[in-house]
Structure 1
Amino acid sequence: MVNPGLSYKVPSWALAVVSCLLWSSAFAGVKTGLQHAPPLFFAGLRFTLAGILLIPLAGSPLKYLRELRGSPFLPFKVGIFQTVLLYSLFFLSLNLVPGSVGAVVNGMLPLWAALAAHVLLKDDKMGRRMLVSLGIGFGGIVLLSVTRNGGVPGEIGGPELVGIFLMLGASFANVLGQIVVYHSRGTMNSMVLTSSQFILGGLMLLGISRIVEGAFVLPPAPVFWGALIYLGFLSAAAFSIWFHLLSVRGEKVSVIGIWQFLIPVAGAALSWLIIPGDDPSWPVFSGMILIASAIIYFFYPSNRSPE
């Protein structure tokens, strides 16, 4: 079981930041891959590859199999939430809503994580400090996102409303998967759990793709394979770190979730560096400052428990 008093050489906040920065860099790879393959098929390949890449890091094959025999249904449950539902709903949503709207809804993930943890976990309740931090952070997400397409809001209704609900469903699936991992802490090696849920979830996505998207032949384009390999390594690293924080260190879902406000910030900064014509603006800078303020307010001073 987890020893809450155990100290680690690398602090949890640093690992959470690394994981969020990795996730924020996935946008370019996803956009590249989707130019050559349908979304569910590409997602299935991505996560199956990520799971396979982690097998050598999970210990010997016998240890891997022993871990799976000890909790045979846990990887299936996590894979359903964290891979199948999360990414199928996420991709379907982005086909219906503008990127700015999707960013606002998806950027509210720390808020959903805190609310779900408050309701479903006895030891993870919200206090005043967390509520204030979430409010400030959400304000930053809105400023950061609504200015991404020139700051011109569009009318929301019909298919876009469906897309918003799909994105909400993806966010809730993500949070529920994290709660399953948190509940299971100490029952399975975190690397084995990450690897096996990726493989199961990825294979299920490929099966759904065969039904929904039809047969598909792998494209020969080197850029596709480069994006796939990069995303496979990225997913393996980011989710391994996050599952380690939840299942080994026993970090609370709501507390480390605050760091996920960094994902749209880092994503915006990367887009300024990579995408021609995408330049920063004062509203975007203001949003970043609000998000940074939310994180600083929640975690400072570090020796004081959140209220």
Structure 2
Amino acid sequence: MRARIVLVYVAIAFLWGSTWSVIRVGLEHLPPLRFAGLRMALAAALLAPFALRGGAWRVLVGETGPRIALVGIFQIALPYGLMFVAQQWVPSGLAALLFASFPVWIALLARVFLPGERLTPAKLASAALGVAGIAVLQAPHLGALQGSGRLALGSALIVSASIVVALANVLVRRHLVAVSPLAMTAGQTVVGAVVLLAAALALEHGRPAEYTPAALGALAYLAVFGTALTYIGLYWLVPRVPIAAVGALPLLDTTVAVTLGAVLLHESVGWNLALGGAMVLAAAALATRDAQPAADA
């Protein structure tokens, strides 16, 4: 069972780590809210047949439905809207660094909302070490940035998205651990798509969109690998690992993003990649060391 937990954990980190650059590609052709909404709509369409066939839809129309919808707003609609808008102005490396504050927020919120969750020295050290590692990874890129109003606004939006996602994961851990991962993902992608596309209709009317092969490829990749598969894996994982281990995911996926850039895009590899990557991996190990295997659900 523990091997399966590790496999799912690593797969989620890898897939989410690959999405930062894909989002940048899509934003060259599509307005941000429409892009995010279409991503979630496509993911919802892919998941719908499985949810209907497996009976997961019964949960969505029952007493749990409103809670799933609420978490869908906090997990999908709000943060993805904020992040896609922000990445028009914020370089992907800086965006990843800012979002890596996630473990700090999830540790604080878990202490408030989850009985039995404590701010142990290990959790605090994991958050601090991970964020420091991300800073080391991105240091060469951040030195070339110049401050601007849009950059400051985009940075604030990404930090806000990080806080909102942390709250969503805490709410899932407290109220929805008994809901199947398929039902959770299907319900929340539907809610996210509706909210994001409504926002796009209201705020992006008249903005041009180019449905080029690159844009369609980005949409397909993000819907399948960056949304449907990853969120099913995440909701399967949440009841089985400490909440701090969930908080370490953005630290790992940012390491993946930097590594893929070096391998696939031939970006320079220096001391910062080796040292920062080691710090991030150590932080993730520290956050997950108390994970306890659980029975299959």
Length-normalised TM-score, structure 2: 0.88
Distance 1:203 1:302 in 2: 36
Amino acid at match of 1:162: L
Q: Deviations over 1:2-36 (max 9, x none)?
A: xxxxxx37532331221111101112321222122
Over 3 Å counting, the alpha-carbon distance change for 1:115 and 1:221 in structure 2 is same
Q: Secondary structure at the match of 1:73?
A: helix
Over 3 Å counting, the alpha-carbon distance change for 1:29 and 1:215 in structure 2 is same
1:211 Cα shift?
Answer: 0.9
1:218 Cα shift?
Answer: 6.3
Kindly indicate whether residue 3 of structure 2 is the aligned counterpart of residue 14 of structure 1. no
**1:65 is matched with which residue: 57, 61, 75?**
57
1:182 Cα shift?
Answer: 1.3
Computed over aligned residues only, the root mean square deviation of the Cα atoms, in angstroms, reads 2.4
**1:183 is matched with which residue: 174, 184, 205?**
174
Distance 1:198 1:134 in 2: 29
Unaligned runs of 5+ in 1: 1-7
Unaligned runs of 5+ in 2: 293-297
Amino acid at match of 1:95: Q
1:172 Cα shift?
Answer: 0.9
1:230 Cα shift?
Answer: 1.3
Distance 1:302 1:287 in 2: 24
Contact between 1:104 and 1:146, CA under 8 Å: does it hold in 2?
A: no
Which residue number in structure 1 is paired with residue 278 of structure 2?
A: 289
Kindly indicate whether residue 112 of structure 2 is the aligned counterpart of residue 122 of structure 1. no
Which residue number in structure 2 is paired with residue 254 of structure 1?
A: 244
Amino acid at match of 1:230: Y
Distance 1:279 1:118 in 2: 40
Which residue number in structure 2 is paired with residue 193 of structure 1?
A: 184
**2:27 is matched with which residue: 25, 34, 39?**
34
Distance 1:143 1:123 in 2: 33
Over 3 Å counting, the alpha-carbon distance change for 1:231 and 1:215 in structure 2 is same
1:126 Cα shift?
Answer: 1.8
Contact between 1:110 and 1:254, CA under 8 Å: does it hold in 2?
A: yes
Over 3 Å counting, the alpha-carbon distance change for 1:153 and 1:43 in structure 2 is same
Contact between 1:82 and 1:174, CA under 8 Å: does it hold in 2?
A: yes
Which residue number in structure 2 is paired with residue 53 of structure 1?
A: 46
Over 3 Å counting, the alpha-carbon distance change for 1:172 and 1:219 in structure 2 is same
Q: Secondary structure at the match of 1:202?
A: helix
Over 3 Å counting, the alpha-carbon distance change for 1:244 and 1:215 in structure 2 is farther
1:74 Cα shift?
Answer: 2.1
Q: Deviations over 1:72-108 (max 9, x none)?
A: 2123102211111101111222234444432321112
Amino acid at match of 2:5: S
Structure with greater helix percent: 2
**Identity, % of aligned positions:** 26
Over 3 Å counting, the alpha-carbon distance change for 1:274 and 1:12 in structure 2 is same
Q: Secondary structure at the match of 1:242?
A: helix
Q: Secondary structure at the match of 2:155?
A: helix
Which residue number in structure 2 is paired with residue 241 of structure 1?
A: 233
Over 3 Å counting, the alpha-carbon distance change for 1:224 and 1:154 in structure 2 is closer
Q: Secondary structure at the match of 1:192?
A: helix
Distance 2:131 2:2 in 1: 32
The range that moved more, 23-32 or 208-217, is 208-217
**2:265 is matched with which residue: 275, 278, 282?**
275
The range that moved more, 212-221 or 26-35, is 212-221
Length-normalised TM-score, structure 1: 0.85
The range that moved more, 64-73 or 259-268, is 64-73
Contact between 1:49 and 1:199, CA under 8 Å: does it hold in 2?
A: no
1:294 Cα shift?
Answer: 2.1
Distance 2:5 2:15 in 1: 15
Which residue number in structure 2 is paired with residue 163 of structure 1?
A: 154
Contact between 1:101 and 1:146, CA under 8 Å: does it hold in 2?
A: no
